Structure 1
Amino acid sequence: MQSLSLQLGTALQPTLSPRLQRAVRLLQMSSLDFSQTVRDALDTNPFLETDESTPPADLPVAEADGAAEAPLAEAQGWGAEPLARARVADSDGVFDTLTAQPTLAEHLVGQLQLLPLTHRDAVLAATVAESLDEDGYLRTPLRELVPLLALDPPAEPDEWLIALRHVQALEPAGVGARDVVECLRLQLSSIPCEHKRALAARILRDCVQCLASHDGQAVARRLGITPEEAEAACAAIRRLDPRPGWRFGSPSIQYVTPDVIVKKVRGQWTAMLNEAVVPRVRLNRSYAEMFRRHRGAEHAELGAHLQEARWTVRNVEQRFSTILSVAQAILKRQHRFLAYGAMAMKPLALREIAQEVGVHESTVSRVTNNKFMATPVGVFELKYFFSRGLATASGGECSPTAIRGLIQEMIAAEDNARPMSDVDLARQLSVQGLKVARRTVTKYRQLLKIEPAERRRR
C-alpha cells in the first residue's frame, strides 16, 4: 500500500513590489495617458509643482492611419497646445464652413420620408434603417427590434419583413441585407446584360463556394455553361459592392502625439524627445524643507506624499530617458528606411534593442507600445520598426515590411488591363530570391489595403 507523506520545499520566484508594478503600468501608457496621470498627481500632492523654468514647446499632432503603419507625410500639420489638447481655431469659425457627411441611417431615413408610407410603416422602416451596422447589414434579428418600439398593437413579424423590404429598396443598393449573398442579390439589377444577370443569380444561388474559391471551371460544369460565360458572370458579381454602407459617414480619424522627433543634423539622423509631451513637474523644495524641519509622527501622511512626489519625478525622468534610448537604438539600425523607404527596412528583434539599451526585452516591448516617432516621411509607432526576418534564396534575411513595400511597387507598375494576381506576385518575388507563399502575399496585400486583381482591372 502506498503511503502518503508531506514534504516541505522552498523555491525562489521573482515578485514585483506594488510600486514596481505601478512603474511598469506607467511605462506602457501612451504619453497622453501618462501626462494625465502626472497632472492628477499635481492636483493631489502638495510636494509637486509645475516647472515653469522652461516654456513649453508647441506639440506636433499628426493624423494616424489605423495601425499607424502607413507613412503620413501629408498629415504633418504641426502646431497644437501642449499635452495634445486640441487648439481651437480662431474666431473665424472655419469649422462652421465644413459640411458633415450624412451617416448611412440619416441617408436612408431621408429617403423613407419621401415614400408614401403610413406613419406606422415609416416608423418601423426607420427603426430597421437605424439598426444597420457600418457595412450596411442588418446583423440583428428582426425579433430583437420589437422592444425598441412601443407600438400599440405591437408590430407583427410580417410588418417587420415589409419594413425590411422598404429599406432594401433604398439606395445604395445592397443595404439591409442579412448576409453577403443577400447583399449581392440586391444589387443584381445593376448588371446591364440580362443574360449575365440571370447567370449571376444562379451562381449566387447554387455556386457560392465555387465563386469564393475563384473556380470558374466548377461554376461552368455545375451550371452547364461555357467557361467564358461563367467567368464573365463571376466578374460581374465581383464588381458589386459587398459593403455598401462604407460610402457614408465621416471617416474615423485618429490623432497621435509623437513622443520622439527625428531630424537630420549635420548629415546624421538624430532622435530627440518631443518636449511638449514631457510633463514639466518638479519637487517643491520649500515644502520639502519645511516638512524636514517639522517632521513628526503626526505627519505620517505628509511623509507618504513626499515619498510619492520624489518617486513621480524620478519616474518621469526614467520613462523618457528609456524612450529616447530605445528610439535612438532603433534609428541606428533602421536609418536606411528614412532614406530609401519600406524596401530598406531590416529585420529587427526586441532582443537586439534590449541588449544595446541594457534593459529587459519586456521593457522594450512596453516602451514601443503606443509610443510614436515623427519622421520626415511620416509618423510611425515604434513597434512598426520590429519584424522577424524572412529567409532569402541567397541565405540572408528580409523584413516583411520590405516585402510589402516591394509588393506595393510591383502593383503600382503593373498593366491596369492585366493586373497581377497574388500567384503572379509570389512568382515575381521568387524570381528576385524571395520565397513567399501565395497566402502570405494575399495577407500583405490586404494589409496594404489593395484590392485583388479582379477589382484592379480597368
Structure 2
Amino acid sequence: MRAQPSLELGQHQHLTLTPQLRQALALLQCSSQELDQEIAQALADNPLLEAVEPEPEPESAAQAERLDRLWAQPARAALPDDLPEPGQPLSLIDHLLLQLHTTRATQRDCLLVIRLMGELDERGYLEFDPAALTAGLPPELEVEDEEWRTALRLLQSFDPAGVAARDLPECLRLQLRTRADEWPTDVLACALRLTDHLEELGAGRWGRLCEALACDRVLLDAAHRALRCLDPRPAGAWQTDPIHYVVPDVLFHRAADGWRVSLNPAVEPRVRLNPELVDGLAGQDLSPDLRDRVRQARSLIHNLDQRRQTILRVAEFIARHQQAFLESGVGALRPLTLREVAQALELHESTISRATRLKYAQTPWGVHELKFFFGTVVQTRSGDETSALAVQALMRTMLASEPAGKPLSDMRLAQLLADQGVVIARRTVAKYREAMGVPPASMRKARGQADA
C-alpha cells in the first residue's frame, strides 16, 4: 500500500495570544523595578508617550501627604555642599596586591600570585590545584608545579588568614597556624586534628571524636572553642554587594470602618498620550507607522491600568481574608490558596500568581511579598484551619524559650503543638523547622555546650 498526497479542509479551535495580551501578561508579572525599565524603554521608543506624575485626590490629600513623608527621599539641596565624595572600598584583590608589593618575590612569582588571585571565589577560596592553570599560560613560560606551590604558599601567607585555601579544613588550619600563640600547644594540636572531623563535630558526636583524637572531653571542648573563633569565609569582609531596598507596591492601612488598601503612588508609573502631539495629528491622514505607534501607546496605557486594577483587587481580597493577621500578626495567618482568590475574583490562577510575584505590601507587621499570605492548610483539633506560617510562628516562640541545655526535639515540638490543638506529624515539624533555618536538636545542644 502506497502513501498518496492529499488535501483536506478542517476546522480546529486553539487559543492564540495577541501582542496586546502578551504585553498585558508581561506587565502584570513585572516587579516595580522591572516595570520602571519597561516604561522607560516605551517612552524612549514612542514619542507619543509621556510620563505623568500622579496627583492626589482632594479627599485623600492628608493620606498622600503622609505617604510622601514615608517614602520621599531627602532633597539633595538640603545637604551641605562641602560633603566629601564617598571613596571606593578597597577590594580583596587590592588588599592582597598591596601586601604582594611589600615582599621580595621575583617578577615571575608575582605574576603567578596575581594569576591565583584572579581565581579566588567570593569566600576567598581557591577550589582547585593551581597547577591546572598552566594550560592557560603561554607555553614558552614553562611554569613548573613547584613554582605554583611556591606562589600558593606566598598568597596563603597574606591577610586575611585563610585566604586561597582549597577547602574549609585547610582554611581553618591556615588560621590556626597564623594565630598559634593564642592557644596552648595541646589545644592547638587538637584543633588542627579536629579540622579533619568537621562532620562529626557538627553532629555533636563527642564520644567518637574523643576516641578518634585520643583526647578527653575537656581538651576537645577547648579545641572546639578555638575553631569557633575562626572565620570560614575569610573574604567576607570585602563583599561589597549593594543593598537593595524593597518599596511596597500596596499599602494596608486602618480606617474607621476596617482595613483599606491603596496602591503606593511612589512606585506607580503613569503614562499618557502627549496632548500636544495628539492635537497636532488630529484630522491628518496618518502613515501606517504612525498609526501603529498610536495603537501601541493606547495598548500600553490600557494594560498598565489593567495591571493596577488587578493588583488592587487581589490585595483587597487578601485584606478581607487576612484581617486577623493585620490585627494580631503572623500567628493569626489564615490558609489561602491561589485557587480561592481566582474563583472569588473570576480570574485564572496564573493571573493571581503573576499579580503576586515580587509585589510587596506594607502591613502593621512589616513589608511582605503578596505570596507570603498564601499557605497550605493545617487542621486543628477543634476542626478549624490555620496556615503553615502560623504554625511556624508558634514553633518559633517555643524554640525561643527552650531550655539551653535541653533543646526541644521534633517529637517534643509535635507534642507541644498538639497540646495547643495543632496536630501534625513529626516529619512535618522537621520540614517546618528546616524551612525556618533551625538546626536539629542535637546540633543546637552541641552549640549550647560549646558556648558554655
TM-score of the two chains, using structure 1 as the length reference = 0.77
Q: How does 1:170-189 map to 2 (within 5 A)?
A: 170-189=158-177
Sort the Cα spacing of 1:148 and 1:253 in 2 relative to 1 into closer, same or farther, 3 A: farther
Secondary structure of 2:405's aligned partner? coil
For 1:276, the equivalent position in structure 2 comes to 266
Aligned AA (2:238):
F
In structure 2, the residue matched to 1:420 is 407
Q: Is the 8 A contact 2:322 2:333 kept in 1?
A: yes
Q: What are the residue-to-residue correspondences of 1:102-141 with 2, within 5 Å? A: 102-139=90-127, 141=129
Classify the secondary structure of the residue corresponding to 1:138: coil
Deviation digits for residues 117-141 of structure 1 (CA, Å, limit 9, x no counterpart): 3444344334433432221211354
Contact 1:348 1:389 in 2 (8 A): yes
Asked if 2 retains the 8 angstrom alpha-carbon contact of 1:137 and 1:177, the reply is yes
Residue 301 (str. 1) matches residue 289 (str. 2)? yes
Asked whether the equivalents of residues 49 and 282 of structure 1 are also in contact (C-alpha less than 8 Å), the reply is yes
Q: Is the 8 A contact 1:101 1:249 kept in 2?
A: no
Q: 1:153 to 1:78 in 2, by over 3 A?
A: same
Judged with a 3 Å threshold, the aligned counterparts in structure 2 of structure 1 residues 55 and 431 are, in CA distance, closer, same or farther, namely closer
Would the aligned equivalents of 1:420 and 1:453 in 2 still touch at CA under 8 Å? yes
Could you tell me how far apart the structure 2 residues matched to 1:413 and 1:251 are?
A: 35
Q: Give the Cα separation in 1 of the matches to 2:321 and 2:372.
A: 13
Counterpart code for 1:48: L
* 2:350 match: 362
The answer on 1:199 being equivalent to 2:187 is: no
* Residue matched to 2:61: none
Q: Which of 415, 431, 439 is the equivalent residue of 1:440?
A: 431
Distance 1:53 1:80, change over 3 A: closer
Residues 29/110 of structure 1: CA separation in 2 closer, same or farther (3 Å cut): same
Counterpart secondary structure, 1:187: helix
Question: CA–CA distance in 1 between the matches of 2:172 and 2:26?
Answer: 47
Cα distance, 1:261–1:395 mapped onto 2, change above 3 Å: same
SS of 1:446 mapped into structure 2: coil
Q: By percentage of residues, which structure has more helix?
A: 2
2:75 maps to 1:79: no
Rounded Cα–Cα distance in structure 1 between residues aligned with 2:123 and 2:405: 30
Q: C-alpha deviations, 1:319-363, integer Å up to 9, x for none?
A: 111111111111222233343332222222111222222211101
Residues 59 and 79, structure 1, Cα contact 8 Å, conserved in 2: no
Q: Which residue of 2 aligns with 1:249?
A: 239
Unpaired stretches in structure 2, ≥5 consecutive residues: 58-63
Shift of residue 307, structure 1, vs aligned partner = 1.8
Aligned residues: 432
Corresponding position: 1:347 with 2:314: no
Distance 1:419 1:120 in 2: 58
Q: What letter corresponds to residue 30 of structure 1 in structure 2? A: S
Given candidates 307, 318, 329, the residue that maps to 2:317 is 329
Question: What are structure 1's unaligned runs of at least 5 residues?
Answer: 62-75, 82-86
User: Which residue identity lines up with residue 205 of structure 2 in the other structure?
Assistant: D
Please name the residue that 1:313 is paired with.
301
SS at match of 1:281: strand
Match of 1:34 in 2: 35
| Residues 157 and 290 of structure 1: CA distance in aligned 2, closer, same or farther (over 3 Å) | same
C-alpha displacement at 1:212, in angstroms?
4.5
Q: CA deviation at 1:225?
A: 5.2
| C-alpha contact 1:58 1:79 (8 A) present in aligned 2 | no
Greater Cα offset, 100-109 or 253-262: 100-109
- Whole-angstrom CA distance in 1 between matches of 2:122 and 2:19: 43
> Conserved in 2, the CA contact under 8 Å of 1:288 and 1:306?
no
Identical columns (%): 34
SS of residue paired to 1:269: strand
In structure 2, how many angstroms separate the alpha carbons of the residues matched to 1:133 and 1:88? 38
> Is the 1:260–1:373 Cα contact (8 Å) retained in structure 2?
yes
- Decide whether aligned partners of structure 1 residues 94 and 268 sit closer, same or farther in structure 2, where only a CA change above 3 A counts: farther
Match in the other structure for 2:248:
258
Q: 1:24 matched to which residue of 2?
A: 25
Structure 1 residues 52 and 252: CA distance shift in structure 2, 3 A: closer
* Shift, 1:453, TM fit: 5.3
Distance in 1 separating the partners of 2:332 and 2:344: 22
Say whether the 8 Å CA contact 1:48–1:283 is kept in structure 2.
Answer: yes
TM-score by length of 2: 0.78
2:268 counterpart letter in structure 1:
V
